[in-house]
Amino acid sequence: MQAFDVLVLGSGLAGQSLALRLADHKKVALVTKRHIEDGATAWAQGGIAAVIDPADSVEAHFDDTLVAGGGLNDVAATRFVIEHGAEAIQWLRETGVPFTPDQAAPWGMHLTREGGHSHRRIVHVADATGAAVHQTLTERVSTHPNIHIIEEHVAVDLIVGHKIGKPELGCVGAYLLDLKSGHVRAVAASHTVLATGGAGKVYLYTTNPDTATGDGIAMAWRAGCRVANMEFIQFHPTCLYHPQAKSFLISEAVRGEGGLLKLPDGTRFMPAHDARGELAPRDVVARAIDFEMKKGGFDSVFLDISHKPADFLRGHFPNIYARCLELGIDITQQPIPVVPAAHYTCGGVQTDLRARTDIPGLYAIGETACSGLHGANRLASNSLLECVVFGRAAAEDILANPRTQPRALPAWDESRVSDADEQVVISHNWDELRRFMWDYVGIVRTNKRLERAQHRIRLLEREINEYYTNFRITNDLIELRNLVTTADLIVRSALRRKESRGLHFSRDYPDLAPVARPTVLNNSRFPKGVQRWTAQP
């Protein structure tokens, strides 16, 4: 049995920033399903929102976040994150992140604007902010002597006291599957942190990497944590539509810098849907595109920024320019074909302002968590900010609250299982799940569609659980098990919401309820929990 002071599951910005803040004081294990260079952070193009310009204000950023969130934001969490925004950017700069400079600005960084923001407040590294942040932190993490990187391992389940006959222990670690050897081992930790990202792969079309399978959310649910607001899945309005372009998104910043959405005949359509036009929040834009595609029978719509100078486009969007050019699309001359795709999980494991979950010793940060910041819809570029702010909050709480490390953990038992007789069951169920989630639980929903999805989920759950019980586990089986659990949480939450708000739009309930309330699913042995939702006054 291996043992660490802190076990961090996930190696994106949330997990890495936490590990770096702890490593001078604690022995940290950083677990990644593939390699340390992989992860959703590296895919983020836009930037990080923070109040940097004195002409901007915390109140303006706060108000923009509440408007985008459909009034469902936890106001304490929202204010907490935004008030610590500039501090988070400064920490990243000190860590070495090379934000795009602006020598004319006293603060030295170029600020762009994205949909839903009333000011320019997005710091960025050209159009590949996530990649630059991830590369910088990876270099720091990889060289720190107190951070032990465990690659090609996937967490199977959390080890919690009430499941091993010692409920007073809380969370004491996790079982990890070594993807090379196929062996499962117990890893003990005084504190365990879920930083496993979102669940975009539950849908057929997504901007997420293949690793985004809802692992942390599903494990926390099985362990007894509450999960909140899972109905709010953000669909990025503008994913590149091309048979050779898997999951390549066209940044929000393209519309922020003047990109126009058009029908195949060149007609603009956003002004007919919202007075803010292309700068409306993502949920509004995604629904408008979905509406126009279905009305016109189009395979895609087009995002046109070719009216801007070519040098400006190559300078501001070098990666988008290069990738599109590889596919025969010159964005300085042609519009970009785009479609919506599942992008961000606004709900997740319910946490408090110190990133604590319902289970002692277990924390959740980043997209895995539901801190309350995003409400019913994430405001563009608030997600990377949330990772850094709550990474620090969790680190401070861990350092201030030492816990006894378990001396021994039960070994993984494979005595009653055998090798799988065929893998087609997994691949078939995976494909079926993602297709019916896309068809029935997508941008526009109805009770009938949701009930159909729930029926199919119940059948898949039985098949998957039988398979899990009888055969040795694999990465694909673990991910499929987590995806079907996550899909169930999304559908359950969607059926509970009898209104249309933010990212959840129901034809059966098109109006807004008079009071904004979170959807909280309780699978907990700890009914008092850790957080009370602080709604808007």
Which pLDDT tens digit goes with each residue over 410-454?
Answer: 888 887 777 776 677 888 999 999 999 988 999 999 999 999 999
Largest Cα span, the chain: 68
Long-range contacts from 180-184, C-beta under 8 angstroms, 24+ separation: 180/152, 182/472, 182/474, 184/156, 184/412, 184/414, 184/473
Task: Calculate the average pLDDT of the chain.
Answer: 92
Is the whole-model pTM more than 0.85?
yes
Residue 471 has phi, psi (to 5 degrees) of -125, 160
How do residues 261-319 score in pLDDT, each as one tens digit? 999 999 999 999 999 999 887 778 988 998 898 899 898 999 999 999 999 999 999 99
- Locate all alpha helices (DSSP H) within 351-446, ordered by sequence: 383-400, 424-440
For 404-425, letters b (16+ CB in 10 Å) and e give eebeebeeeeeeeeeebeeeeb
pLDDT at 142: 95
Residues labelled as active-site residues: 282
Distance between CA atoms of residues 393 and 290, nearest Å: 38
The gap between the terminal CA atoms of the chain, to the nearest Å, is 50
Residue 154's region, left for phi above 0, alpha for psi from -120 to 50, else beta, is: beta
Q: Decide if pLDDT at 245 tops 50.
A: yes
Nearest Cα to Cα of residue 160 among 475, 420, 406: 406
- Length of the chain in terms of residues written: 537
How do residues 189-207 score in pLDDT, each as one tens digit? 999 999 999 999 999 888 8
Distance between CA atoms of residues 26 and 261, nearest Å: 50
Residue 104 CB burial class (10 angstroms; 0-12, 13-18, ≥19): exposed
pLDDT at 525: 55
Domains of the chain, each with CATH number or no CATH: 2-47+126-198+208-231+346-400 (3.50.50.60), 236-343 (3.90.700.10), 424-513 (1.20.58.100)
**β-sheet bridge partners, residue 444:** 505
- 299's tokens: 């395979």
Beta strands in 376-508 (DSSP E): 444-445, 505-506
How do residues 303-358 score in pLDDT, each as one tens digit? 999 999 999 999 999 999 999 999 999 999 999 999 999 999 999 999 999 999 99
Cβ atoms of 390 and 366 within 8 Å: the answer is: yes
Q: How many beta carbons lie within 10 A of that of residue 481, not counting itself?
A: 26
